[in-house]
């Protein structure tokens, strides 16, 4: 009951924020957004959105293959898109679908939970590393394009960037020298060398071998996924403003992911508020941020609708599998 209450409250807060942003910018923006989305421009944005999630599926397939599980792409698409539907509807954006994917893999392909979580952890680590680069340059672009002058902030950002690069080189060196990075991490956090935890950590870091071609292939696919995210933002920004400067798109990408930090389903309200602020500081009308947000969400809703169909199909399949397993277990007990 508590979880249901949390979901209902998050939807209520989301729509309240959405309502107040529209009161501020004007309801006309909804008509403008749907007018653009229902044109050929909307179709282009939906296709790019599909590329974002197809590349995510392919990255997931490569990580599974590296861990010794080579499944058909068509099967993984069903699970991945159903997981996106769960992510789209849950209160915490970009998080909810992972649990469903882990459960579906365990149920359909009998992948152990420890290995399953390790695979998802690898996927998240790569996503965070690549996304951090885009968001860093997005923040730099925003500061460059606006008249905001915050003392020493630029120096701090540059320092953080080099610290991030240094950390990557450090991890590379440890792995290249084949040192036991697991023991190193356990030592930092004071964790005893538990067998299960060791296996989990070993599975996570088994991928991060610079000499492996698969490692660089997965990194390239992970990078391409966020290139498609950037491309969608750049195209939509061009459709709205006729500006082609990629720095604007990087800045808006930063605001988009910043809005997803709030625990609101599909970023309703928070995305409109963040983009309205972003557009206004970049020298455009704040109302344009609402149009931008509604179109982005409409493209994702189109893909999520396909995922909901697959979620329903997989849900029935998993449900009957659970019943079958329970009946089988009861017969064994008897």
pLDDT tens digit string along 113-128? Answer: 777 777 887 888 888 8
* Residue 330 pLDDT grade (very low, low, confident, very high; cuts 50, 70, 90): very low
Residue-level pLDDT at 11: 57
Put residue 283 in one of left, alpha, beta given phi > 0 → left and psi -120 to 50 → alpha. Answer: left
Contact 226, 134 (CB under 8 A): yes
Give dist(CA 89, CA 97) in Å, integer.
Answer: 9
Q: Is the dihedral of CA 19, 228, 216, 135 positive or negative?
A: negative
Among residues of the chain, what percentage have pLDDT more than 90? 17
Q: Which residue has the higher pLDDT, 44 or 306?
A: 44
Could you list the residue range(s) of the whole structural domain that residue 309 is in?
A: 2-333
- Max mean pLDDT range (147-161, 288-302, 313-327): 288-302
Give dist(CA 189, CA 169) in Å, integer.
Answer: 21
pLDDT higher than threshold 90 for residue 225: yes
- Max mean pLDDT range (32-36, 122-126, 295-299, 323-327): 295-299
Q: Which residue has the higher pLDDT, 26 or 56?
A: 56
pLDDT tens digit string along 37-72? Answer: 889 999 999 999 999 999 999 999 999 888 888 888
Helix (H, G, I), strand (E, B), or coil: what is residue 313? helix
pLDDT tens digit string along 166-189? Answer: 655 555 555 444 445 555 544 544
Kindly state the tokens that stand for 2. 């508590």
Kindly state the tokens that stand for 301. 């809703």
Nearest to 139 by CA among 253, 10, 294, 276: 253
Give dist(CA 334, CA 22) in Å, integer.
Answer: 63
pLDDT higher than threshold 50 for residue 252: yes
Residue-level pLDDT at 277: 85
pLDDT higher than threshold 50 for residue 142: yes
* Residue 93 pLDDT grade (very low, low, confident, very high; cuts 50, 70, 90): very low
Contact 237, 59 (CB under 8 A): no
58-62, 97-101, 207-211: least confident range: 207-211
Number of neighbours of residue 309 by Cβ within 10 angstroms: 14
Kindly state the tokens that stand for 309. 């169909």
Contact 94, 268 (CB under 8 A): no
Kindly state the tokens that stand for 250. 């990087």
Nearest to 116 by CA among 131, 97, 134, 103: 103
Q: Please state, rounded to an integer, the average pLDDT across all residues of the chain.
A: 75
* Residue 334 pLDDT grade (very low, low, confident, very high; cuts 50, 70, 90): very low
Contact 274, 256 (CB under 8 A): yes
Residue-level pLDDT at 97: 73
- Max mean pLDDT range (42-51, 93-102, 278-287, 324-333): 42-51
Give dist(CA 46, CA 40) in Å, integer.
Answer: 10
Give dist(CA 132, CA 136) in Å, integer.
Answer: 6
Number of neighbours of residue 110 by Cβ within 10 angstroms: 7
Residue-level pLDDT at 200: 61
Among residues of the chain, what percentage have pLDDT more than 70? 62
pLDDT tens digit string along 268-287? Answer: 777 888 888 889 888 888 88
pLDDT higher than threshold 90 for residue 6: no
Residue-level pLDDT at 214: 86
Residue 267 DSSP symbol:
G
Q: Is the dihedral of CA 208, 209, 214, 219 positive or negative?
A: positive
The structural domain count of the chain equals 1
């Amino acid at each position: 009951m508590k979880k249901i209450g949390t979901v209902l409250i998050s939807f209520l807060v989301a729509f309240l924020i959405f309502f107040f942003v529209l009161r501020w910018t004007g309801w006309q923006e909804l008509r403008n957004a749907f007018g653009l989305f229902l044109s050929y421009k909307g179709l282009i944005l939906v296709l790019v959105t599909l590329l974002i999630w197809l590349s995510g599926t392919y990255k997931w397939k490569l990580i599974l293959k590296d861990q010794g599980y080579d499944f058909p792409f068509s099967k993984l698409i069903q699970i991945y898109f159903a997981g996106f539907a769960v992510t789209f509807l849950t209160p915490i954006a970009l998080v909810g679908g992972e649990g469903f994917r882990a459960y579906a893999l365990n149920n359909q392909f009998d992948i152990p939970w420890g290995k399953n979580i390790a695979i998802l952890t690898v996927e998240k680590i790569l996503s965070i590393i690549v996304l951090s680069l885009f968001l860093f340059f997005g923040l730099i672009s925003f500061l460059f394009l606006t008249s905001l002058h915050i003392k020493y902030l630029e120096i701090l950002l540059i320092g953080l960037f080099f610290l991030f690069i240094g950390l990557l080189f450090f991890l590379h060196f440890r792995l290249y020298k084949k040192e036991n990075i697991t023991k190193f991490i356990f030592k930092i956090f004071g964790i005893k060398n538990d067998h299960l935890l060791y296996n989990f950590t070993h599975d996570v870091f088994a991928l991060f071998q610079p000499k492996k071609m698969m490692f660089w292939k997965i990194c390239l696919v992970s990078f391409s996924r966020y290139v498609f995210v950037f491309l969608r933002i750049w195209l939509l920004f061009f459709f709205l403003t006729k500006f082609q400067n990629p720095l604007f798109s990087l800045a808006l990408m930063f605001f988009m992911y910043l809005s997803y930090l709030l625990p609101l389903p599909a970023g309703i309200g928070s995305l409109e508020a963040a983009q309205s602020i972003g557009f206004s500081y970049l020298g455009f009308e704040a109302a344009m941020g609402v149009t931008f947000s509604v179109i982005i969400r409409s493209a994702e809703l189109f893909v999520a609708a396909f995922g909901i169909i697959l979620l329903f199909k997989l849900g029935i399949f998993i449900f009957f599998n659970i019943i079958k397993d329970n009946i089988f277990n009861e017969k064994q007990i008897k």
